[in-house]
Chain A
């Protein structure tokens, strides 16, 4: 932890995990949707379900979906803002098998019809982990630039991604590979030390066998000051 993890973050209370972390889950979810959310069905698990309302977890997640940051004093008023911005939402308590105690499942729909399902947990001190994307394990924190590539499980795609990164002088910090079955649907999650140029992302999107490419970089926004 660096000294500003100790003296910080500047945040709206009362809880770094149940409030600040919840805002971040909303922010990253909206970022992953790549669209302005108009509909959100949110399921709270564990401690999020039992103490969420008292901690403002519900208002925090909606604030994040609306693009507010964890230090935004409008967080307590996010439900009213959502109404003005035509974001309809619902909350329900649920139990998710083997999930972290502070977990939320978000089913989102954007204004151009894009849909996404995100399972994320708040792992302490305002840090979060995205556990699943559309039902597939991913496990990344979104603290580093992250590239998520959905592809057909066939030889060569990992090499395409890594050689592209090497060509752009982007260093890989971590890399994870998942698939539903041999030759089926595969996902790679790559966290990098540098940001990835957009033209490289677009190049990847057009390759044969690549189904979907999602890139998220919240790094620059983290240090934003009012």
Chain B
């Protein structure tokens, strides 16, 4: 059984004097009736797939529609610019988010985390951290369990589908998962981990799913950037001692309520928001001729 609440995870950590990683791993073994080794092997394979996807980005590739591609390479070049406001490390995070989102749009192999449209958020925070040797492989694997456990609660209490809950359910959930992984890696305790998830989710509450021409391209690719950057700032906030004033589980419930109230035109139908702008209509007409 998946956890019903984030608080339940924290309580279990307290009771068993264990880490979020261990609690999620044990629960997975119990839920899927697999050994600890099998579970860990599968998570390692997932991490390998992320690293492979990240290292095989093609900077000249554009999607079938021609709408996205090459921005990840631009961002990576800009990293060397000393005038960058966010600094080179944050620029690297942004470049990774764009690159994975573009690879997905170009039909390359990615890891849905939790969805294909939001597949750039978690890698964007984990891969640069790993590349800068701030954590080794086993530690990254542990952080992935933490993020998956948090994602599982969001999926069961609310939703991780844009068609059900809007973009907040995809990029929002991915951002909460990324924030919890980073907080774990930065040495945060279970309470801080779930507060990082809550702060990042709160900041993206209400985000609608309005893909232009119904494709996972505009604005999805760039929203991976805000998901990743938001996860980084939420992590720094909790590590500075800041908490979410609204309890984390209530934040998830609020996301569900907002998703339920969201008009269907704003839930992956390609009919509202950015998808309904005159520019988007023009793009649709052009695509019908092209594809």
Tell me the A residues contacting B by CB distance below 8 Å: 1-17, 19-20, 47, 50-51, 53-56, 59, 71, 73, 75-76, 124-126, 223, 225
Closest residue of chain B to A53 (Cβ to Cβ) is: B291
B134-166: CB near A (< 8 Å → 1, else 0) gives 000000000011011101100110001101100
Is the Cβ of A13 less than 8 Å from the Cβ of B114? no
Contact of A6 among B65, B106, B114 (CB under 8 A): B114
Query: Which residues from B are CB-within-8-Å of A223?
Result: 42
Is the Cβ of B161 less than 8 Å from the Cβ of A14? no
In this complex, the interface size class of chain B, counting residues with CB under 8 Å from chain A, is 35 or more
Is the Cβ of A14 less than 8 Å from the Cβ of B117? yes
List residues of B (84-131) whose CB comes within 8 Å of A's CBs.
Answer: 103-117, 119, 122
* Residues A14 and B216 in contact in the complex (CB < 8 Å), given A1-B152, A2-B31, A124-B163: yes
- Show 30 residue pairs from A and B whose CB-CB distance is below 8 angstroms, ordered by the A residue: A1-B155, A3-B24, A5-B155, A6-B114, A6-B148, A6-B155, A7-B112, A7-B122, A8-B46, A11-B116, A13-B103, A14-B63, A14-B107, A14-B116, A14-B215, A14-B217, A16-B115, A17-B163, A19-B116, A51-B270, A54-B65, A54-B213, A55-B216, A59-B107, A73-B109, A75-B107, A76-B107, A124-B163, A125-B112, A125-B160
Interface flag for B247 (CB, 8 Å): no
A72 CB to closest chain B CB, in angstroms? 8
Tell me the B residues contacting A by CB distance below 8 Å: 2, 24, 28, 31-32, 42-43, 45-46, 49, 63-65, 103-117, 119, 122, 144-145, 147-149, 151-152, 155-156, 160-161, 163-164, 177, 213-217, 269-270, 287, 291
Is the Cβ of A6 less than 8 Å from the Cβ of B108? no
* Nearest 4 pairs of A and B residues by beta carbon: A13-B104, A51-B214, A3-B148, A6-B151
9 extra interface residue pairs, beta carbon distance < 8 Å, beyond A6-B155, A11-B112, A125-B112: A1-B152, A3-B151, A4-B148, A6-B114, A12-B107, A17-B163, A47-B214, A126-B112, A223-B42
Alpha-carbon gap, A9 to B122, bound state (A): 14
Alpha-carbon gap, A87 to B195, bound state (A): 54
Contact of B64 among A8, A17, A56 (CB under 8 A): A56
Query: Which residues from B are CB-within-8-Å of A126?
Result: 112
Is the Cβ of B213 less than 8 Å from the Cβ of A51? yes
Query: Which residues from B are CB-within-8-Å of A20?
Result: 112, 116
Alpha-carbon gap, A1 to B148, bound state (A): 10
* Residues A3 and B149 in contact in the complex (CB < 8 Å), given A13-B105, A14-B107, A73-B108: yes
Query: Which residues from A are CB-within-8-Å of B32?
Result: 2
Alpha-carbon gap, A101 to B26, bound state (A): 38
Alpha-carbon gap, A59 to B106, bound state (A): 13
B265 CB to closest chain A CB, in angstroms? 14
Alpha-carbon gap, A10 to B52, bound state (A): 11
Is the Cβ of A13 less than 8 Å from the Cβ of B149? no
* Residues A7 and B111 in contact in the complex (CB < 8 Å), given A14-B215, A20-B116, A225-B45: yes
Closest residue of chain B to A16 (Cβ to Cβ) is: B116
A22 CB to closest chain B CB, in angstroms? 12
Query: Which residues from A are CB-within-8-Å of B113?
Result: 6-8
